[in-house]
Structure 1
Amino acid sequence: MSYSKRLLIASAFFGVIGVGIGGHMAGAGSLAWSAVHAHILVVGWLSLFAWSMYYKVYTPPNAALAAVHFWTALVGAAGLNIGMYVYMMDTFLPEVLSLILYISMGTVLIISYIVFFIMTILQPE
């Protein structure tokens, strides 16, 4: 399966989760999950969708960079949101561990954006 298709499926998954959380927040009358909700939709749904379209329209200039981008995008998008949830919702993990998860997965996502930026610079017209 192509990177485009896999990113599109992941994007749709994040969209369903984000809409579900939004519906829950509206029904509960609480904004407690608003940061997680926003990041799921912007990072998970919107960014993965945009990257899916990039892979559909363009052939990546470097296969290794494309692989790094794809995996850091998926792991970073999922990990950042899970880390944010665990940290902000004061769950079962000690605070220091949840903060490490949150920051490390955010770093993976940043790497994904940097690799994508490099790929766009290298992309022939």
Structure 2
Amino acid sequence: MNKNSKNLLRFAGIFGLIGAILGAHMAGSGSYAFRAVHAHILVVGWLTLFGWAVFYKIFQTTETVLTKLHVWSAIIGSIGLTVGMWLYMVKPFNLPEGVTLFIYIGGGVALLLSFLLFFLLTLFIKEKK
């Protein structure tokens, strides 16, 4: 299995599990405080990382700086955005707003970079035979 596909698939699985647990928690508690975080964990973490794992499995890519940057900016961005969103919106530790905003925006920027890098990758791919 392609290393990039495996890494993205494993992180997608982690995000899927966390998203399902958060959904169960919200349903059981009747509180929807995690609604936005839950949605982003599932869409950005589970769905997007899974889609990119499939991309690396189906299409021929060589291990380049571009692919490494894409995979790790996707993983770091997904973690940063969702954790930052949780810290900023839910405020579980009462951290300074500047710190939580930095994590939230930093994760979002890293994720945005991963989408740009993915677009660039699509310009140089070959279908596996």
Q: Which of 100, 103, 110 is the matching residue for 1:101?
A: 103
Q: CA deviation at 1:59?
A: 1.8
8 Å Cα contact 2:61/2:126 also seen in 1 = no
Q: Distance in 2 between matches of 1:119 and 1:77?
A: 19
TM-score, length basis structure 2:
0.92
**What SS does structure 2 have at the residue aligned with 1:122?**
coil
Deviation of the 1:62 alpha carbon: 6.4
Moved more, 92-101 or 106-115: 92-101
Counting only pairs closer than 5 Å after superposition, residues 40-119 of structure 1 correspond to structure 2 as 40-60=41-61, 63-90=64-91, 91-119=93-121
Q: TM-score, normalised by structure 1?
A: 0.94
Contiguous gaps of at least 5 residues in structure 2: none
Distance in 1, matches of 2:62 and 2:125, equals: 5
Q: Across the two proteins, how many residue pairs are aligned to each other?
A: 125
Are positions 1:20 and 2:21 aligned together?
yes
Deviations, residues 21-78 of structure 1 (Å, cap 9, x unaligned): 0000000111110000000000000000000000101122661110000110110001
- RMSD of the TM alignment (CA)? 1.4
Structure 1 unmatched ranges of 5 or more? none
Residue pair 1:3, 1:70 contacting (<8 A) in 2 also? yes
